[in-house]
Structure 1
Amino acid sequence: MDSFQIASFVVRFQLTAVEKETGKKQWRIKVTHVQEGHETLFESIEEATAFMMSMVEDS
């Protein structure tokens, strides 16, 4: 492992809806990989985290 490797991400959450009955919030999550300028949208934090992990493991 290269000890000088850095992976930076900007994560932005945007509220898209709130269910009336349950009050559950739905989010749009935008993840930007800073070094590559690659942006991807997700609907869950689990998907966003998996994306970030794959970017780190592939580099």
Structure 2
Amino acid sequence: MSSHFADIEVFVSNLDSADEADDVAALVEAALGRAGYQASVSVATSAYVGEEGGR
């Protein structure tokens, strides 16, 4: 059994919709899996409200 773990936060700012967040999570999980890591990716999304007023 491994003696260490990592809790990592990734910020992605250029999504066109909240639905794309699931695609990003799948990409991250797959990449880590191919590298030999066991990974569980969770996603929290929110609308960006900046100078443009959001989309």
Pairwise same-fold verdict (TM > 0.5): no
Of Structure 1 and Structure 2, which has the larger fraction of its residues in helix? 2
Which structure dedicates a bigger proportion of its chain to strand? Answer: 1
What range describes the TM-score normalised by the shorter chain of this pair? 0.3 to 0.5
